[in-house]
Amino acid sequence: DGVTEVLARHSENLQDKFIEIPCSEDYDGHKRFEGCTPRKCGRGVTDAIITREEAERIRRIAERGLSLGGSDGGASILDLHSGALSLGKHFVNLYRYFGDKIQDIFTEEDFALYRDVRRRVQQRIAQAFGIHSASMYLTKPTFFSRINNTEAKTTHDEYWHPHVDKVTYGSFDYTSLLYLSDYAEDFGGGQFVFMDASSNKTIEPRVGRVSFFTSGSENLHRVEKVHWGTRYAITISFTCNPDHGIGDPVLP
């Protein structure tokens, strides 16, 4: 474990923090897209692009959707794009499973806010890495997560293992997380940890905080186990390859 450094404390209100790091070779094995594929790699944190009130509204979308299901273990997933929802030890398609009742759970305003938040995150990432936001495409999986301290029942519940997004999901070039609950107030544990050779660097979630990073091995990371309470976040992922792009979710 070695030395741990806190990059962003939950008590701080950060305008913009960006740390450039050398790129790994992960991108070399994939087709390069000029003006998008990372040439500059790094990680950033900002509390300045999504308001607390907007993040709380987004969390209520997650709470309403996840109330329809939920994993038997500690980690539950809701993907508004594909309709995937944790239910017991499996996943169901929310839209097929609940049909027309979805209109009673989500509104057009919910989906409009979701799109607007995605657009702002995309623009912030493009600005930080010196690329054009139009060259980036939303990619899957992009999903809400709800994590508590219930014991894992399947491998899907084991969220705490170190991983590299570009290795796990080949399409990922840029990863972002919008936090929807407060570290040390809504939950304990659950910090986001970058695992560098010399030290661990942690981000403490805060409602409305966005962290983002290039998806290669330069950003090996994990989430610490949640010890108490409930941690909500949304993972929003981008690719440079239009073949792997997906559209914003629409209300059926």
- How far apart, in whole angstroms, are the C-alpha atoms of residue 52 and residue 123? 19
Would you name the residues annotated as active-site residues? 231
Task: State which amino acid sits at residue 251.
Answer: L
DSSP three-state, residue 30: coil
Instruction: Find out whether 68 and 104 touch, Cβ atoms under 8 Å.
Output: no
Return the DSSP state at 50: S
Sequence-distant (≥ 6) Cβ neighbours of residue 233 within 8 angstroms: 144, 145, 177, 178, 179, 180, 181, 205
Sequence-distant (≥ 6) Cβ neighbours of residue 226 within 8 angstroms: 74, 147, 148, 149, 187, 188, 189, 190
Cα 39–Cα 41–Cα 46 angle in degrees, nearest 5: 130
- How far apart, in whole angstroms, are the C-alpha atoms of residue 217 and residue 144? 23
Return the DSSP state at 107: -
Identify the residue whose tokens are 């986001």: 192
Instruction: Find out whether 186 and 236 touch, Cβ atoms under 8 Å.
Output: no
* β-strand pairing of 17-21 with 41-46: antiparallel
